[in-house]
Amino acid sequence: MPDIILETQNLKKYFKTRRGMLHAVDGVNLRIERGKTLGIVGESGCGKSTLGRTIVHLYEPTAGKILFNGTDISQLKKKEQKRLHTDMQMIFQDPFSSLNPRMSVQELILEPMLVNDIYDTREQVYAASAKLMDIVGLAKRLASAYPHELDGGRRQRIGIARALSVGPTFIVCDEPVSALDVSIQAQILNLLMDLQDEMGLTYMFITHDLSVVKHISNEIAVMYMGQVVEKAASDELFAHPLHPYTQALIAAIPTPDIDDGGFSDLEPIKGEVVSPVNPAPGCRFAVRCPYASSGCTDQELTLKEVRQKHYVACPYIETEEENDNTKV
């Protein structure tokens, strides 16, 4: 049995808007194995951030369960949540707005430890903050610096140290490298992977960048308009993308390679994502899908396993046993 640290069961988060119910996260089932990284990839508005925020309790789920180490944490009372704050942490996208500009680097890292009463004495807290700065690669002299004096990469290192300070086992990384330059992005990705190796952390890595998600994840879930449309091991997904949306997404990446013919010959997928307000039943990608037919919209779709540990929500893709020639 795999050791599952976090599981979502039919998780839903709806927001009331003037135009109707926005189905930001709509029935997501995911499992994350301890010590591994699950990548959540999708375009803006697909609900990936809402999913992450619902899991760390920034939003109340509308329906569904979140099992953390086997217990449902979606309905906990305020008091019972206390422990969760130290087991589950989040690293935010924007290193410019996720740090309180009025606090110095040291205060920022100390704060979660003080709030959660992690250590008995002040000395221990200071020692821990010094150690954390060392771990994430921040020079000691920066302890009294303020965020605005630092560059994006260093700020993101503070965000990481802050998340680690309470000793979490599970971290939701919400686009942690999207705001960074590519050379800095690589430094941070390496740091995150080293920390995972050393501390046995589990990541849920949310991003729109497919090359980043492939690099860091063991397993990847592709989201489209609030739903997971495909889920598979990282290599498997890129080697055999099955859902038409995943295929379009991968085809649209401009790889830094001049001999792949560019995407000049390839017609990019038409249309754009609309926000899922009162969505029609069935496949939400159908309006943009080149293969869509009535079979896509007259039934609710669920993820089904079509290859070993490769799940797709598309009526036209058959399981290997049924038909070896999976479509497209």
In the complex with other proteins, the residue whose CB is nearer, 17 or 100, is: 100
Q: Which of residues 101-140 bind other proteins (CB under 8 A)?
A: 101-102, 104, 106, 111-112, 115-120, 123-124, 126-128, 130-132, 135
DSSP state of 223: E
How far is the C-alpha of 297 from the C-alpha of 19, rounded, in Å?
22
Closest distance of CB 67 from other proteins, Å: 19
Up-side HSE of residue 235: CA atoms within 13 Å toward CB?
1
Told to check if 290 binds other proteins by CB under 8 A, we report no
Binding residues with other proteins: total (CB under 8 A): 96
> What are the C-alpha distances in Å from 296 to residues 232, 240, 290?
22, 21, 12
Closest distance of CB 303 from other proteins, Å: 22
Contacts for 132-136 with beta carbons within 8 Å, 24 or more apart? 132/161, 132/164, 132/165, 133/105, 133/106, 133/109, 133/161, 135/161, 135/164, 135/195, 136/160, 136/161, 136/164, 136/191, 136/195
In the complex with other proteins, the residue whose CB is nearer, 124 or 302, is: 124
Closest distance of CB 51 from other proteins, Å: 15
Told to check if 196 binds other proteins by CB under 8 A, we report no
Q: Which of residues 40-99 bind other proteins (CB under 8 A)?
A: 43-44, 53, 56-58, 81-82, 85-86, 88-90, 92-94, 97-99
Task: Please write down the HEC assignment for all residues of 4-24.
Answer: EEEEEEEEEEEEEECCEEEEE
Q: Which of residues 213-272 bind other proteins (CB under 8 A)?
A: 214-216, 235, 238, 248-259, 262-264, 268-270, 272
Told to check if 276 binds other proteins by CB under 8 A, we report no
Closest distance of CB 317 from other proteins, Å: 20
Closest distance of CB 324 from other proteins, Å: 25
Question: Which two three-digit tokens encode residue 130?
Answer: 């010094």
Site string for other proteins, 295-324 (x = CB under 8 A): ------------------------------
Indicate the length of the chain as a whole number. 328
List the end-to-end C-alpha distance of the chain, in Å, as a whole number.
33
How far is the C-alpha of 322 from the C-alpha of 312, rounded, in Å?
15
